[in-house]
A and B are shown apart, each in its own frame.
Chain A
Amino acid sequence: EDQVTQSPEALRLQEGESSSLNCSYTVSGLRGLFWYRQDPGKGPEFLFTLYSAGEEKEKERLKATLTKKESFLHITAPKPEDSATYLCAVQANNAGKSTFGDGTTLTVKP
């Protein structure tokens, strides 16, 4: 059974204080690992897809990396508008079901 574990559950940072969010996974045949951002009262919005170990993707202050067992979402010099819940999901070699972690709620204080 596919499993995704995210840590920490919650993270509070000062503006400009860089940090990382972790996503550990077990899956039979990874087709893709996805990062989503979810704002309160909204549906998740897609950020990145990573396909193979060693791959990295960047967007503004966010950088996602992937190993064979985990992914990290690095946040460099965060701003208050980066406050959100970040969800990690894996897509395995099955009928297309995505398995999600419980998310990390990030709060960035000015």
Chain B
Amino acid sequence: NAGVTQTPKFQVLKTGQSMTLQCAQDMNHEYMSWYRQDPGMGLRLIHYSVGAGITDQGEVPNGYNVSRSTTEDFPLRLLSAAPSQTSVYFCASRPPRGASNSPLHFGNGTRLTVT
């Protein structure tokens, strides 16, 4: 049971480049989300999805796009990278809607640097 898998682990981009951070889970979780974590700060929600075909914005969505075509995958796209997007990105999932007070399961993060 792999849990939540994020790729790549590390990435360096130049300003203006685009890329996709991958997230996959094998636990049949309906809820998936993306957070960013900056030094000395907690996790801030970027986008989330309560099921395939449904996405919504979190606290800091600007500059990021998501889609949810399958239950297993929830990719995060950076459209035009900026230095302010240098951060550690975490994907997290949770069991179906009926257990909305269940804890989140996290991947080990993608460390992104934008120069």
Contact = CB atoms under 8 A, between A and B. Distances in A.
- Interface residues of B toward A: which range? 20 to 34
Given A100-B42, A103-B42, A91 B106 contact: no
Interface string A1-32: 00010100100000000000000000000011
Contacts of B58: 97
A44 B100 contact: no
18 contacts: A4-B42, A31-B100, A41-B108, A43-B90, A43-B92, A43-B107, A43-B109, A87-B43, A91-B100, A91-B101, A96-B31, A96-B48, A96-B97, A99-B45, A100-B42, A100-B44, A102-B40, A102-B41
Given A102-B40, A103-B42, 8 more contacts: A34-B104, A43-B4, A43-B92, A44-B90, A49-B102, A91-B100, A97-B33, A98-B104
